[in-house]
């Protein structure tokens, strides 16, 4: 992405709204301008004529907008949006989305926008590995911020506030852009990113329906978040519903050990990041360089069922996915790392 002037990253002034009546002054824009100084900030919004959607979508208010932010998880084509503009809960809930290539429709039938490949299927069901299915449980989703997450400090996690501060340091090159918090759980960090005002939009993304419902419950308790640019999206981390090179920052807090295939997820994250975009993740390590050799087989056996990696493996999969400038901070079994899309 590129930027010509810092002023272009601020919210669009109301005086410009008459030119684009379908756009809200609450939406942040990053114009598609290219110059050689800094490879940052591109936000493309294209006006388009009305598109025939499903009957329940055709009654939505406002004009149809074609945006390159959300894309079809099947073919990665940008989705046609019908409804009020904006990256916030109310606007997303009242909007319908349709892929103009494969003709599939998506909507927020619950509190989140379902952009999984299986969205809308009636007869087909799919069961994920135990590590994934566990967090789809209403019970675990309820407990996550009520005791579950607090136990991570025993493994060296410094705590949510310090982890957020560390992530913000890594994300400085992406300030003003769109951040996707993948495997966001109940939105612990999604809400912090949104409240910081650092980003033009935050997308809380998880595969668990109940985690997203719990995230919505927390958001409803905070009036400032209800008015912020935050969206809840259900999606698979190995099939992210965004166009290639459209996202500025991706965060994955204490998540990648639960992914069925970390390598596929890293490749997807690399695909959706723009040039210069930043990926920050944290997880439990299988063991560290200081772990005695006699203990390592015991830890491997005890941690079966999850994809706990080593420092070297994390750097290796980042590199193989096309990410560079790998950096890490390690404390006991905790690691936070950062990598960048060249």
Q: What is the mean pLDDT of each run of 10 residues along the chain (342 residues)?
A: 39 33 38 40 38 42 59 95 90 92 88 93 80 84 93 95 98 98 97 97 96 96 88 97 97 94 97 98 84 64 72 97 98 96 98
Q: Rounded to 5, what percent of the chain is helix, strand, coil?
A: 35, 25, 45
- Is residue 89 included in any domain, yes or no? no
Task: Round to whole Å and give the CA distance between 212 and 283.
Answer: 20
pLDDT of residue 301: 57
Indicate if the alpha-carbon torsion angle 20, 23, 26, 28 is positive or negative: negative
CATH of residue 141 = 3.40.50.150
Structure tokens at 145: 């911020």
- Is residue 46 included in any domain, yes or no? no
pLDDT of residue 133: 78
pLDDT of residue 296: 61
- Is residue 41 included in any domain, yes or no? no
- Is residue 311 included in any domain, yes or no? yes
Give residue for tokens 């599939």.
104
- Is residue 149 included in any domain, yes or no? yes
SS3 79: strand
How many domains are contained in the chain? 1
- Is residue 22 included in any domain, yes or no? no
- Is residue 312 included in any domain, yes or no? yes
Task: Round to whole Å and give the CA distance between 262 and 183.
Answer: 12
Domain that includes residue 160, residue range: 126-341
Task: Round to whole Å and give the CA distance between 214 and 187.
Answer: 8
- Is residue 276 included in any domain, yes or no? yes
Structure tokens at 226: 């209800």
């Amino acid at each position: 992405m590129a930027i010509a002037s810092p002023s272009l990253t601020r919210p669009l002034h109301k005086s410009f709204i008459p030119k684009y009546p379908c756009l809200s002054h609450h939406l942040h824009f990053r114009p598609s301008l290219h110059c050689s100084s800094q490879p940052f900030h591109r936000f493309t919004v294209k006006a388009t004529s009305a598109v025939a959607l499903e009957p329940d979508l055709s009654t939505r208010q406002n004009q149809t907008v074609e945006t390159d932010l959300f894309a079809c998880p099947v073919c990665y084509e940008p989705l046609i949006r019908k409804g009020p503009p904006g990256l916030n809960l109310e606007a997303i809930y009242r909007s319908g989305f349709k892929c103009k290539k494969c003709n599939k429709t998506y909507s927020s039938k619950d509190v989140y926008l379902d952009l999984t490949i299986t969205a809308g299927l009636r007869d087909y069901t799919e069961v994920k590995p135990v590590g994934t299915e566990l967090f789809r449980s209403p019970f675990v989703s309820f407990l996550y911020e009520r005791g579950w997450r607090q136990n991570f400090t025993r493994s060296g996690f410094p705590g949510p506030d310090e982890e957020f501060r560390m992530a913000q340091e890594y994300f400085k090159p992406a300030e003003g852009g769109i951040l996707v918090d993948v495997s966001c759980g109940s939105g612990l960090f999604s809400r912090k990113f949104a409240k910081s005002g650092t980003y033009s939009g935050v997308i809380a993304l998880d595969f668990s329906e109940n985690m997203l419902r719990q995230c919505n419950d927390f958001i409803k308790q905070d009036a400032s978040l209800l008015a912020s640019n935050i969206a809840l999206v259900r999606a698979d981390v190995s099939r992210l519903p965004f166009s290639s090179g459209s996202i500025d920052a991706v965060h994955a807090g204490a998540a990648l050990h639960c992914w069925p295939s970390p390598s596929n997820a890293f490749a997807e994250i690399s695909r959706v990041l723009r040039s210069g975009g930043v990926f920050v993740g944290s997880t439990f390590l299988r063991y560290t360089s200081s772990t005695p050799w006699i203990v390592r087989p015991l830890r491997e056996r005890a941690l079966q069922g999850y994809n706990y990696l080593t420092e070297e493996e994390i750097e290796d999969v980042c590199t193989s996915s096309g990410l560079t400038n790998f950096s890490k901070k390690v404390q006991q079994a905790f690691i936070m790392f950062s990598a960048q899309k060249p």
